[in-house]
Amino acid sequence: MNLTDQLNFTNILDTASDLQCSSYHAYSNASTVCSYVKNLPNCQYDGGFIDYIGLTMCSFSEKNRAWCYVLLLLWMLYMFISLGVTAEDFFCPSLKAISKFLRMSDSLAGVTLLALGNGAPDIFSVIAAVNNKNPRTTAMAFQELFGAGIFVTTIVAGSINFSTTFMMARRPFLRDNIFYLVAVIWTFVVIYRREIKTIEATGL
């Protein structure tokens, strides 16, 4: 680390709480970037088992950082495949057995048991994000909920239509989409007002 970077880095640490983690792009020296992400509070990783920012910026040199991105991409693909295998071999058969035991129709099981199973990880991840000290993590929690809903209703539904041919029930499809649209609008109004009442939370 040269003298200029050291002085700038010292000044940065004095106002570290006001800086975002993405500001490390202003530095080209690898050791400076590593010290930056290790000491800046907004770069600290509070949850999970792997510190991805520290792994990328400190464990790999600047020349070999592209290999780190390739490794993380392969790790992400492995996690998606593992999630798909878990859902196909364990989650879906369990839901099917429960719906048969309760004598539920496929439509009712889809909007209750399947929705609850798909949304359970989101519930716990949002609770963990809201309790996080980083305000950006809290904001990303609500963005994740809307992003997941849009992804399911667009990409997933479109992929299923391309992969197989089936007859969709018109009334249940319209019913579910109308309720989803109303819930999204309601949530937008609540966030816009920056307050929520107990009855509104119960309705959502």
DSSP per position, 150-200: HHIIIIIHHHHHHH---PPPHHHHHHHHHHHHHHHHHHHHHHHHT---HHH
Query: Is the pLDDT assigned to residue 12 strictly greater than 80?
Result: no
What's the whole-number mean pLDDT along residues 22-41? 71
**Average confidence score pLDDT of the chain:** 76
Range scoring the smallest mean pLDDT among 11-20, 27-36, 130-139, 149-158: 11-20
pLDDT at 76 (0 to 100) = 92
Q: Cβ(60)–Cβ(82) under 8 Å?
A: no
Is there a domain that residue 77 lies in?
yes
Is there a domain that residue 176 lies in?
yes
pLDDT at 78 (0 to 100) = 94
For 71, the token pair is 């490794």
**What's the pLDDT band for 17 if we cut at 50, 70, 90?**
low
Residue 44 CB neighbours (<10 A) = 15
Q: In which domain, by residue range, is 17 found?
A: 7-54
Together in a domain, 171 and 149: yes
Together in a domain, 96 and 121: no
Together in a domain, 11 and 86: no
Total number of domains in the chain: 3
Together in a domain, 190 and 111: yes
Together in a domain, 146 and 165: yes
Tell me which DSSP letter residue 17 carries.
G
Is there a domain that residue 67 lies in?
yes
Residue partners of 168: CB distance under 8 A and separation at least 6? none
Together in a domain, 148 and 179: yes
Is there a domain that residue 66 lies in?
yes
Domain boundary pick from 68, 103, 138: 103
What's the whole-number mean pLDDT along residues 124-141? 71
pLDDT at 143 (0 to 100) = 78
Together in a domain, 141 and 72: no
**Can you spell out the DSSP letters for 55-124?**
HHHHSS-STTHHHHHHHHHHHHHHHHHHHHHHIIIIIHHHHHHHHHHTT--HHHHIIIIIHHHHHHHHHH
Together in a domain, 109 and 197: yes
Confirm whether pTM is higher than 0.75. Answer: no
Is there a domain that residue 110 lies in?
yes
**SS3 assignment, position 51:** coil
Together in a domain, 82 and 152: no
Together in a domain, 113 and 161: yes
Together in a domain, 14 and 88: no
